[in-house]
Amino acid sequence: MTDPIRTIVIVGGGTAGWMAAAAAARFLNDGQRRILLVESDAIGTVGVGEATIPPIRDFNNMLGIDEAEFLRETGATFKLGIEFVDWGALGERYLHPFGDPGHNFEGIAFHQYWLKHRHDPRIGAFTDYFITAAAVRHRGCAPQSGDPRSPLHQMAAAYHFDAALYASYLRRRAEAQGVERIEGRITGVARDGGSGHVAALRLADGRDVAGDFFIDCSGFVSLLLGKEMGVAYRDWSRWLPCDRAFAVPSARTDPLIPATRATAHGFGWQWRIPLQHRTGNGIVWSSAHAGDDEARDTLLANLDSEELAEPRQLRFTAGVRERLWEGNVVALGLAGGFIEPLESTSIHLIQTGINKLFWLFPDRSFSAVERDEYNRLMIDQYEYVRDFIILHYKATARTDTSFWRDMAAMEIPDSLAQKIELFRTKGRIRRFDHDLFGVANWAAVMLGQNIVPDGYDPLVDATDDDRIIAAMERIASVFDQQARAMPPHADYIARLVAR
Ligand code: FAD
């Protein structure tokens, strides 16, 4: 016999809170259970977080969201990769394209063939073999094909969207499906004397909100998991020293590029996220290496279009809570941790947290085994992402500022050092269970940051070189033709939105 959770209380109505509420409304609302969400308009949300990675489409699909409606409601555009400017060295740029490249001949990763033949004049840049990179080059977009033989099969897309519009869209859906929103500022927490579990929230106006299970989506303040339960924060700023950001919207620019741009500066980097109605921009930097004024001026000097508001400052420390589930509290989003926005993984970690939570959803006995498994899986996810982000800073030839010299000289986690070492030898990618980023992602960024292996997988030698080179030439040419024939990204969206 199980003793089911009867009342779920979600604390916070930012992206994390409304993603959790929309998913709970869809999957946990059995008619017996109440789902409450408490938020405070006076406190507000961080309101940034506009670039995603392809699994976001699984989340939207899981909720039964119609893509055309979603595009209309959130000002969204498609994102086929991230363009990195001035990272590996000043004056260089590379794309981290989504999807897999070319074709894994004989079951061996495509980049191994590219490594062997890259000096042949008939062979192009690694990214010439991604359909998504071809689409970004031609500013086009097209739907992904379900047919593995089609060049469009690897048209893996994510979205850029307006974070505030996405949260309100999910809110409308969640409320329509029975989630009860409570407006109010939480000023206190009541705990159960025996178990130590959270029993109720006390609001500023004196109301109490009681529940069995609490999902802490309160943002950086981490109201329940951090402040109330006292779960410590693992500080990763020795590897990821960027701790400040300014965000500013600017006017829309054309053509509408189907990619995020991340431009490295002397003390951090700047994002550019094209939406239908505006461009999202921001600078992320290390306060140990530059002051607020310098960062703000650099951001504004590097906008492609007129700013539409005053830059807004945000502060953070890269890291994660030691545990993301404690007692009857699970933290999602910024309340659990944050690894800075390069590679746009934060919303994905919310999605992963929701998926794993539903897989291990507790009853009122709160089994320690389920809790521990959740914590193990989620901390692993954060560490995988952490290593991927550190790679971008560590693998640089830049020595022009103290920031980049510090980055190049820093000690990195063993897990990443071993990964780089293995790649340097024969281009092999060491992957872990459930590693978010695949072989192609790691290969694209390692190569983009100029980590070029000394050799390649010897199994590649078993395949006829002329056949492979001819196939690679064909792939690059077909992808380029396909991309040229795609509608411009802006037209593609306009057509979908008009449906
Ligand atoms: P918040 O948006 O801060 O929401 C917290 C909620 O809790 C609010 O509703 C607030 O009112 C409520 N609350 C807090 N205290 C109380 C209280 N006492 N009483 C009642 N309610 C309370 N992620 C990406 O995936 N892609 C990106 O491109 C990206 N860019 C980013 C850039 C920057 C500079 C930063 C800082 C983050 C970025 N992120 C990005 C992360 C992303 O913004 C967050 O993951 C996402 O917005 C989720 O935030 P949240 O819901 O956890 O917190």
Query: Where residue 328 sits, what CATH number does that domain have?
Result: 3.50.50.60
Residue 265 lies inside a defined structural domain of this protein: no
326 vs 215: CA distance, rounded Å: 11
Ligand 1 centroid – CA 45 distance (Å) = 5
* Atom number of ligand 1 nearest to Cα 185: 19
Ligand 1 centroid – CA 13 distance (Å) = 9
Question: Which residues carry out catalysis?
Answer: 79
Residue 69 lies inside a defined structural domain of this protein: yes
Tokens of 499: 């449906």
Question: ω before 274 within 30° of 0 (cis)?
Answer: no
**Cβ(161)–Cβ(15) below 8 Å:** no
Q: Is the model's pTM score more than 0.85?
A: yes
Tokens of 206: 């004196």
**Helix intervals (H) in 162-238:** 163-176
Ligand 1 centroid – CA 188 distance (Å) = 21
pLDDT digit string (tens) for the chain, length 499 residues: 689 999 999 999 999 999 999 999 999 988 889 999 999 999 999 988 799 999 999 999 999 999 999 999 999 999 999 999 999 999 999 999 999 998 878 889 999 999 999 999 999 999 999 999 999 999 999 999 999 999 999 999 999 999 999 999 999 999 999 999 999 999 999 999 999 999 999 999 999 999 999 999 999 999 999 999 999 999 999 999 999 999 999 999 999 999 999 999 999 999 999 999 999 999 999 999 999 999 999 999 999 999 999 999 999 999 999 999 999 999 999 999 999 999 999 999 999 999 999 999 999 999 999 999 999 999 999 999 999 999 999 999 999 999 999 999 999 999 999 999 999 999 999 887 777 899 999 999 999 999 999 999 999 999 999 999 999 999 999 999 999 999 999 999 999 999 8
Q: Cite the beta strand spans of 105-232 per DSSP E.
A: 158-160, 180-183, 186-191, 198-203, 208-210, 213-216
Residue nearest to atom 27 of ligand 1 (CA): 49
Number of domains observed in the structure of the chain: 1
Which residue type sits at 251?
A
Q: Which among 159, 218, 221 is the best mutation to test ligand 1's pocket, defined by most ligand atoms within 8 Å of the CB?
A: 218
Bridge-based pairing of strands 233-235 and 319-321 is antiparallel
Other C-beta atoms lying within 10 Å of the C-beta of residue 268: 25
Ligand 1 pocket, residue 52 CB under 6 Å = yes
Ligand 1 pocket, residue 441 CB under 6 Å = no
Ligand 1 centroid – CA 163 distance (Å) = 9
Residue nearest to atom 6 of ligand 1 (CA): 12
Ligand 1 pocket, residue 224 CB under 6 Å = no
Ligand 1 centroid – CA 15 distance (Å) = 6
Ligand 1 pocket, residue 483 CB under 6 Å = no
Residue 105 lies inside a defined structural domain of this protein: no
423 vs 443: CA distance, rounded Å: 8
Residue 423 lies inside a defined structural domain of this protein: no
Chain-centroid distance of CA 38 in Å reads 25
Residue 331 lies inside a defined structural domain of this protein: yes
- The contacts of residue 498 (CB under 8 Å, 6+ apart) are none
Ligand 1 centroid – CA 139 distance (Å) = 31
Q: Which residue has the tokens 């060295």?
A: 89
Residue 23 lies inside a defined structural domain of this protein: yes
Ligand 1 pocket, residue 339 CB under 6 Å = no
Residue 470 lies inside a defined structural domain of this protein: no
Burial of 104 per CB tally in 10 Å (0-12, 13-18, 19+)? middle
Ligand 1 pocket, residue 186 CB under 6 Å = yes
**Helix intervals (H) in 2-109:** 15-27, 56-62, 67-74
Bridge-based pairing of strands 325-326 and 329-331 is antiparallel
Residue 56 lies inside a defined structural domain of this protein: yes
Residue nearest to atom 4 of ligand 1 (CA): 14
Q: Which domain holds residue 326?
A: 7-75+161-235+318-384
